[in-house]
Structure 1
Amino acid sequence: MSSVSLTKPLRRLRFPLVPFNKPYRVSQRSLHLAPPWLLDDYIPRYHLISSLDAAKKRSLAYAHLRECNLCPRKCGVNRYEKSGMCLVGAQTVKVNTIAPHFGEEPCFQGHNGSGSVFFSGCNLRCSFCQNWDISHQLNGFDLTPEELAEWYMKLQEVGRVHNINLVTPEHVVPQVVLSILHARELGLRLPIIYNTSSFDSLESLELLDGLVDIYLPDFKVWTDKSSKRLLKADNYTETAMESIKAMHAQVGDLCFTGDGIAKKGVLVRHLVMPGMEEEGKQIVKWLAENVSKDIMVHIMEQYFPRAHVGKPLRGKKAGADASSDATAKVRYEEINRPVDLSEVESIKKAAQEAGIWRFVEAAKHGGFNI
């Protein structure tokens, strides 16, 4: 065993001597702090409500169905006896498709897909509906809330999806509430996305409070004229304003975990319509000034003529235009073309000028968005 030589001086650690009466200044360095929208972990909101609150929501769900006020149409019908505008009763929901979906925003679909549940029927009648074959037609199969909850579990356990994405659920909110509460008991652990047209009543959103983690509302048009003509609704814009503000009050701006998957908050979609740039600019300006400049916005460019757009004119109007040019003999002629990318860019520029900066867009680094 070698011995330590005592003849060599020990290496001395040198510390700067700082007088007690003078502050010691540390050299400045840049701090890379996590943004406020980054979560370490996330527990779905429906796991945080008490059993008493869950029982109250069940009772309220049944009450809404007895005198329906789930959307601004406020039909007031007893859905146990007959249906209103949506043509859906009380005992079941009509579902068209349940499957992992890879056509949503990257922060929702991830690598495994978003667990999408496409409900048939809708409380709007958009003339240009991009999901017309689902939303306007009652095609699909009937499910009770309990059966719907079991499908959530299949999406979680078999599909390994990142969330449960409820598409066009405005007219079946009570059944959705009952299904979420039942799925909680079955062991569901995924965030719930409420994917809506924003034509919701405040009473409906209050019923959903505590159960929905992510709100995914559309803000379609700005003027009453467009609302009446294209959506067949008298008060869409005012309703969308109230609804989106209520959604944001519940869950705030969109937040993510470290894997890039959204867990809670609001993401607003706006489908750019041909020739309607000014309405889009008003919408994004309103969002910035009245909701949040940090709100996540998806300015969508995939509009193309669908549903009733471009179909031949009907009735007296068709007869009156019989002698006119053939190109004028179609319905909704003003939006009977794909949207131009310059229209999309002008609305995005207006959003940036208003202070919005969080957009859904392709990754600039050329790789995955998540």
Structure 2
Amino acid sequence: MDLTGLPLALYGHCELCPRHCGANRLAGEVGACGAGAGLRAARSALHFWEEPPISGEAGSGAIFFTGCPLRCVFCQNHDISQGGSGRDVPVGRVAQMMLELEAQGAININLVTPLHFAPQVRQAVLLSREAGMTLPVVCNTSGYETPEVVRAMGDVVDVWLTDFKFSSGDLACRLMQARDYPEVAEDALVEMLSSVREGGGRLLGADGRMLRGVIVRHLVMPGHVDDSLRVLDRVWALCHNEVDISVMNQYTPNRRCLRAGGDLARAVTGEEYERVLDHADALGFERMWWQQGGTVSESFVPAFDATGVEGPVLSSTKDYGEGGRYE
């Protein structure tokens, strides 16, 4: 599959994500991600709940996109990942959002679950940069991505903020309907790290913001600490200290998990979380972010109410080759 320039024609037989569903999104079909050819976003605003190098004091300029190739039963963003909430927006509007977020003081542009819209998102970043946007671009992803798409986005993404959710294929199948997740996440992470190396390696600004690098997130799940330890083993074996690691303690049971009962209907215990942190220390991770108690709260989920989505559209007549002309 030739992804050079990420042409919009890729939507005609979509294989942008590891599902390789083949949907003709150009003809109105919906892919495994839940998206057609129209770009959809649910929120564009300053976001303060990411890791310190991403949010800083001023906030990250987060644009939340609609749809996701995973089907996580525990998803906190269900309204946009699987519920379809959001507004249709042209490429030029997304580019303008980036300029608006920079004007609001954002320290980066944080694209949340964007790669099932990779052709248009890439166009939007190029257009915003043409208009003067100077911030680093963060790709905030589940980790369930193809190396080809990661490679094709390398010229517009500076920071990869990626999940590594599970090491067990059985667990990934049961909780995300993606048995191949561990292998896919490994391959994607290798490509992300390669992209950062080619750019010159991890780089922080004088204020501590990340200008280039990889942060690997792992959400500790109640009752599945042993799998968390294996996730850290995988990340260490692949990356050692070339990446930052973020071990999260914010698992919050959603309504579906509460109804199902069992371990996923409760929070992570302090003992479970400490076991994972201790293992990360023992492996040798030097740059690790963790969360103190009291993080279990739905306050970490922003309102997906189309804040910042509607507004003026940035236009350009510049042609970026196969990616198409901006309208």
TM-score normalised by the chain length of structure 1: 0.74
Aligned partner of 2:137 among 183, 192, 197: 192
Higher relative contact order (CA 8 A, sep 6+): 2
SS, match of residue 127 in structure 2:
helix
SS, match of residue 210 in structure 1:
coil
Aligned partner of 2:231 among 250, 273, 283: 283
Q: In structure 1, how many angstroms separate the alpha carbons of the residues matched to 2:31 and 2:205? A: 41
SS, match of residue 138 in structure 1:
coil
Tell me, yes or no, if structure 1 residue 269 matches structure 2 residue 230. Answer: no
* Contact 2:4–2:152 (8 Å) recurs in 1: no
* Contact 1:95–1:118 (8 Å) recurs in 2: yes
Tell me, yes or no, if structure 1 residue 86 matches structure 2 residue 15. Answer: no
Could you tell me which residue of structure 1 aligns to residue 314 of structure 2? none
Could you tell me which residue of structure 2 aligns to residue 14 of structure 1? none
SS, match of residue 44 in structure 2:
strand
Q: In structure 2, how many angstroms separate the alpha carbons of the residues matched to 1:170 and 1:235? A: 18
Could you tell me which residue of structure 2 aligns to residue 360 of structure 1? 289
Tell me, yes or no, if structure 1 residue 201 matches structure 2 residue 201. Answer: no
Aligned partner of 1:300 among 248, 264, 280: 248
Q: In structure 1, how many angstroms separate the alpha carbons of the residues matched to 2:88 and 2:222? A: 37
Tell me, yes or no, if structure 1 residue 107 matches structure 2 residue 53. Answer: yes
Q: In structure 1, how many angstroms separate the alpha carbons of the residues matched to 2:168 and 2:56? A: 35
Could you tell me which residue of structure 1 aligns to residue 203 of structure 2? 255
Could you tell me which residue of structure 2 aligns to residue 342 of structure 1? 271
SS, match of residue 269 in structure 1:
strand
Q: In structure 2, how many angstroms separate the alpha carbons of the residues matched to 1:341 and 1:167? A: 29
Which amino acid in 2 is paired with 1:198? Answer: G
Matches within 5 A, 1:210-225: 210-225=155-170
Deviations 1:228-275, CA, capped at 9 Å, x for gaps: 110111211110010111101111464211111111100000000001
Could you tell me which residue of structure 2 aligns to residue 49 of structure 1? none
Q: In structure 2, how many angstroms separate the alpha carbons of the residues matched to 1:333 and 1:183? A: 47
Q: In structure 1, how many angstroms separate the alpha carbons of the residues matched to 2:127 and 2:195? A: 22
Q: In structure 2, how many angstroms separate the alpha carbons of the residues matched to 1:178 and 1:294? A: 29
Identity %: 35
Could you tell me which residue of structure 1 aligns to residue 119 of structure 2? 174
Aligned partner of 2:188 among 243, 248, 270: 243
* Contact 2:151–2:192 (8 Å) recurs in 1: no
Q: In structure 1, how many angstroms separate the alpha carbons of the residues matched to 2:146 and 2:71? A: 17
Could you tell me which residue of structure 2 aligns to residue 71 of structure 1? 17
* Contact 1:287–1:293 (8 Å) recurs in 2: no
Matches within 5 A, 1:35-50: none
Q: In structure 1, how many angstroms separate the alpha carbons of the residues matched to 2:263 and 2:79? A: 22
TM-score normalised by the chain length of structure 2: 0.84
* Contact 2:249–2:291 (8 Å) recurs in 1: no
SS, match of residue 263 in structure 1:
strand
Q: In structure 2, how many angstroms separate the alpha carbons of the residues matched to 1:93 and 1:192? A: 18
* Contact 1:303–1:339 (8 Å) recurs in 2: yes
Deviations 1:86-128, CA, capped at 9 Å, x for gaps: 22122x3111111001111111111211000011111101000
Could you tell me which residue of structure 2 aligns to residue 61 of structure 1? 7
* CA shift for structure 1 position 147: 1.2
SS, match of residue 42 in structure 2:
strand
* Contact 2:143–2:189 (8 Å) recurs in 1: yes
Call closer, same or farther: CA 1:126–1:64 in 2, change over 3 Å: same
Which amino acid in 1 is paired with 2:81? Answer: S
Deviations 1:114-151, CA, capped at 9 Å, x for gaps: 00001111110100012222222111211111111011
Q: In structure 2, how many angstroms separate the alpha carbons of the residues matched to 1:113 and 1:340? A: 29
* Contact 2:247–2:291 (8 Å) recurs in 1: no
* Contact 1:294–1:357 (8 Å) recurs in 2: no
* CA shift for structure 1 position 332: 5.5
Deviations 1:347-369, CA, capped at 9 Å, x for gaps: 11111211212111479xxxxxx
SS, match of residue 115 in structure 1:
strand
Instruction: Give runs of ≥4 in structure 1 deviating > 4 Å.
Output: none
Q: Which runs of 5+ in 2 are unaligned?
A: 293-327
Q: In structure 2, how many angstroms separate the alpha carbons of the residues matched to 1:179 and 1:294? A: 29
Aligned partner of 2:173 among 218, 228, 244: 228
Call closer, same or farther: CA 1:76–1:307 in 2, change over 3 Å: farther
Matches within 5 A, 1:120-159: 120-157=66-103, 159=104
Q: Which runs of 5+ in 1 are unaligned?
A: 1-54, 312-330, 364-370
